[in-house]
Structure 1
Amino acid sequence: MRILVIGGGVGGLSAALALRKAGAEVTVYEAHPASGDDIGAFLTLATNGMIALAQVDAARPVADAGFPLTSMRVTGTDGAALATVPLGRHDEPLARYRCLRRAELCAALRAEVLGRGIPVRHGRRLVSVDEGADEVVARFADGDGAAGDLLVAADGLNSATRAVVDPDCGPPRYAGQRVFYGYTTTAFGEPERIEMIRGSAVAFGHAVSPEGETYWFARVAGAALTALELAGGSPEAWREHLLPLLRPDATVAADIVAATGERLMATNASDLPPGGRWRTARTLLIGDAAHAASPATGQGASMAMEDAVVLAKALRDAPSTEAALEAYERLRRPRVELNTATSARLTASRAPARRPGTGPAGVPDEEVVRTLDWSTPL
């Protein structure tokens, strides 16, 4: 099977690895002219994401690119700890939560893709898709085109392919929060622990890297930042916006933001309404292109990795492409739409992504593990 993967980010690269393992001939087409090395925002990969990567033999390089998180502490506005819980499968090195910059994750996945002989074509911005009885053809802005048996679109929240698959879909919706990310050169906190602060006006989280940097995010309710504000905003302006919101609380959040230099970014939290169309006969949306959630659950990358494995297994095991795509959607839609709804609820409440309990947080259930297990038929 010849498969065109549109998008060279987390979802597309994960899909390329999984589809190649399933025996497909895969080529990745990425709109940007180069891989890029900007600092970008950071993310956490949960245990389910690491388990998915293990199925395509990529858990080790990704684990090496980031640092582990083995516990989560939740604190209140007075700085007192409300709960501390284990996080994920902290006793299994390759199934631990991982924290890393998105660019670092993509670099690790890209190295695996290229190392396995999978072509990645840069500067290929999709402009149209033509489906026929026997093949699908992607057309790119540079005049180039490519034909395959299946097109897998992993081109993100602002997917160009989504309008082809679901012409009635609307744009991504604003989830109600501005999200800020930053890095300091000073350590605030303990290694391997993510701190979640239930602030009076801001939901705040931070973790310390082995190099002593503090990675942090802040989620602030309010009107969406305009395109002009996003383009013209500076680290100084974002600090001035955040500090008055953080200083009333007796936590380290204001100190962390004050200690942040130029490495401070802002974006709007967005998601896609559940229920959209994911596929045609020869085109399938995966990852954020199909089911983007606001960042409150921290599951975007992990869900895309799950998508990749389940799709590859479905194509491997089903008697036809149609049957494979039907099986894929039947398995994935309930899980990802639950994540979208959960993340929207947490965004509205400013609560931490996982409520404290007596057992480990973020451990996938047996059915999820079974579905991801490469040796188990779907």
Structure 2
Amino acid sequence: MSTRTTTAAVIGGGIAGPVTAAALRLAGIDAHVYEAYPARADGVGGTLALAPNGQAALEIIGAKDALAAIGEPIHRMDMLVASRKRFVIPAVPDQGPLLSLHRADLFRVLSDRAEELGVAFEYGKRLVDVREGPDSVTAVFADGTEATADVLIGADGVHSAVRALIDPANPGPKYTGMLSFESISPFEPDLDPGVMTFAFGKRGYYLYWRLPEGGTRWGVNMPSPKPLSFKEIRQRSNEDWMVRLLDVYGDDAPGGELLRRTPPNTLQASGSLHLMPPVPTWHRGRMALVGDAVHAPSNSSGQGASLAIESAIELARCLRDIPDPSAAFVTYESLRRKRVESIAAAAAKTNSVKAPGRLAQTIMPIIMPLFIKTAMNPEKTIAPIQRHRIPWEASAA
């Protein structure tokens, strides 16, 4: 029985999928991506931040420069509490800035790079089942087609079909209690471009930063008792959503003014926000999970995309260096689980104060300096995250 991995079927063509496939190609493994959507998701998705560790990981697959060309550097991050108290979040001095970019642009760059490396993409391939053999695994798609490879990698996001096939007892995503919207307002607060502000308003959390070309991009995490699908969100008009947003943020400064000056037709819904609780089973046999399918932290972490990229490359490194796929997956999990779960746990604490009540509003300006000094200490808490580098040239065995 042959155990060396030479082919891989990657399920999911978002962010983790193309990175996994590109890294596998660099590792000498023929990778093929199967995406459920009928075409490339160009233009879909909101804005995200790519941290220095994520940027460094993308350098391994040769995509860093292309992203630097389209990303907007964020040189400083502040916290604003109750529209009146501003605190500067300490930065790690030897790390470069975060990059703010549209998810669609990141997807395009990563997919283009994977294709340059010889990765093939197929669309309209919704996974419904798998068949496992002694030395291969076969993906079964809803259209009746199949694909067989040495290994199958689930990079299919928080609603992963592969996760349940690996272990039906694995948990599904947890709704955070928030919906995400964003847009660009012509209103410009008195801040330089490149300063991102995380604002804790009276009834909800929002963030904003001025753009070099003019205007201010803003995003909100609006409290909502139940998650809504994109179809349900689109059943309301943008004008209706703006009324709801102003009801939550209208009394905040500058949040209210940012929203009031935003044309409703430019409002973009990113959807319900979910995170993954710890997943007990990351892999089984010749199948493994990567990215949001196995670790989706709250967006409070600023690390969702970066961790997905890291894990994708680390997984390829393990399959390159460890002939037995099962053993490779064990090593992969040992290298990644502690890191991603500790970052997710820290972000969950921040998530819990995104909609502070009156008492929290009163005490937050008092406790925030202590929170920043301890939970956001640049050397103790931020630096180990941002300085992390994958030793691609070293053997994972």
TM-score of the two chains, using structure 2 as the length reference: 0.86
The amino acid of 2:206's aligned partner reads: F
- Deviations along 1:232-275, whole A, 9 cap, x unmatched? 133222221121322333x2111112222223215222122213
What pairs with 1:158-169 in structure 2 (closer than 5 Å)? 158-169=159-170
The 5 A counterparts of 1:1-378 are 1-83=6-88, 85-86=90-91, 89=94, 92=96, 96-188=97-189, 189-227=191-229, 229-249=232-252, 251-261=253-263, 262-264=265-267, 265=269, 267-350=271-354, 355=372, 359=378, 363-365=382-384, 369-370=388-389, 372-378=390-396
TM-superposed CA distance for 1:19, in Å, is: 1.1
Q: Which runs of 5+ in 1 are unaligned?
A: none
Read off the aligned partner of 1:32 and give its amino acid letter: Y
Three-state SS of the structure 2 residue aligned to 1:40 is coil
2: CA distance, partners of 1:170 / 1:41: 26
Q: Which amino acid aligns with 1:343?
A: A
Shift of 1:44: 0.6
**1:339 aligned counterpart, secondary structure:** helix
* Matched position secondary structure for 2:45: coil
Report the identity percentage: 33
Aligned-partner Cα distance in 2 for 1:359–1:165: 38
How far residue 98 of structure 1 moved from its aligned partner, in angstroms, is 0.7
Letter of the 2:256 partner, please give it.
A
User: 1:213 Cα deviation (Å)?
Assistant: 4.1
> Is the Cα contact below 8 Å between 1:202 and 1:220 reproduced in 2?
yes
Deviation (angstroms), 1:159: 1.1
Shift of 1:135: 0.4
After TM superposition, the score normalised by the length of structure 1 is 0.90
* Compared CA separation, residues 233 and 216, structure 1 to 2 (3 A): same
C-alpha separation in 2, matches of 1:256 and 1:173: 30
Deviations 1:89-147 (A, max 9, x none): 55x4xxx3111111110011111111222111112111111110010111112222111
Q: In the aligned structure 1, how far is the partner of 2:217 from the partner of 2:92?
A: 18
Retained in 2: the 8 A contact 1:149–1:282?
yes
* Range with greater deviation from structure 2 (104-113 or 285-294): 285-294
User: Relative to structure 1, is the Cα distance of residues 222 and 143 closer, same or farther in structure 2, using a 3 angstrom cutoff?
Assistant: closer
**Structure 1 pair 237/360, CA: closer, same or farther in 2 (3 Å)?**
farther
Post-superposition shift, 1:373?
Answer: 2.6
Alpha-carbon distance in structure 1 between the residues aligned to 2:45 and 2:380: 27
| Distance across 2 between alignment mates of 1:14 and 1:118 | 10
CA distance in 2, matches of 1:180, 1:361: 33
The CA distance in 1 between the partners of 2:115 and 2:228, in whole Å, is 38
Q: CA deviation at 1:187?
A: 4.3
For structure 2, which runs of at least 5 residues remain unmatched after alignment? 1-5, 356-367
Deviation at 1:160, TM superposition (A): 1.5
Q: Distance in 2 between matches of 1:248 and 1:209?
A: 24
2:13 is matched by which residue type in structure 1? G
Aligned length: 371
Amino acid at match of 1:132: G
Q: State the distance in 1 between where 2:383 and 2:22 align.
A: 22
Structure 2 residue matching 1:201: 3-state secondary structure: coil
Q: Distance in 1 between matches of 2:311 and 2:353?
A: 28
User: Displacement of 1:366 after TM fit?
Assistant: 8.2
Question: Which one-letter code corresponds to 1:60 in the other structure?
Answer: D
Partner Cα distance (1:230, 1:139) in 2: 31
User: Is the contact between residue 73 and residue 99 of structure 2 (CA under 8 Å) also seen in structure 1?
Assistant: yes
Match of residue 365 from structure 2:
none
Give the conservation status (yes or no) of the 8 Å contact 2:178–2:224: yes
User: How much does 1:81 deviate?
Assistant: 2.1
Question: Match of 2:284, SS?
Answer: coil
Alpha-carbon offset, residue 46 of structure 1: 0.9
Q: What is the identity, as a one-letter code, of the residue corresponding to 1:123?
A: G
C-alpha distance in 2 between matches for 1:56 and 1:173: 32
CA RMSD of aligned residues (A): 2.5
